[in-house]
Amino acid sequence: MKSETATAAKTYFGKLLDDARKEPVMITKSGRAVAVIMAYEDYEALTAQSTPLAADAPKKPKRRSVAKRYRSILKYRIKRKEREEKGSGST
């Protein structure tokens, strides 16, 4: 499978789409795989082969993990805003 950095994918997106028609292209960011771009026909074939068991898998655990990730971001932003407000109120 071909691999491109996120920066190169952004810069050469048209070429990336052309390459993805031939074979899937893995996108990396900071050295870690983050996405795969593939031809739509390949995607359709892949999803058509999914088993009923996989389709029935519960989705709540994934949502919880996403919620945990964003909860920590929100807590950080709230604390930062509170610090900023305290700092501007003391002048």
Domain boundaries, the chain: 1-56, 58-91
pTM of the predicted structure, to 2 decimals: 0.53
39-67 pLDDT, tens digit per residue, is 998 888 887 766 555 556 556 555 556 66
Question: Are 3 and 24 contacting, i.e. CB atoms less than 8 angstroms apart?
Answer: no
Between 78 and 6, residue with greater pLDDT: 6
| pLDDT in the model for residue 29 | 94
* Mean pLDDT, the chain, integer: 80
| pLDDT in the model for residue 31 | 92
| pLDDT in the model for residue 13 | 95
- For 1-56, CATH number out of 1.10.287.610, 3.40.1620.10, 3.40.50.970, 1.10.10.10 equals 3.40.1620.10
What residues are paired with 3 via a beta bridge?
A: 26
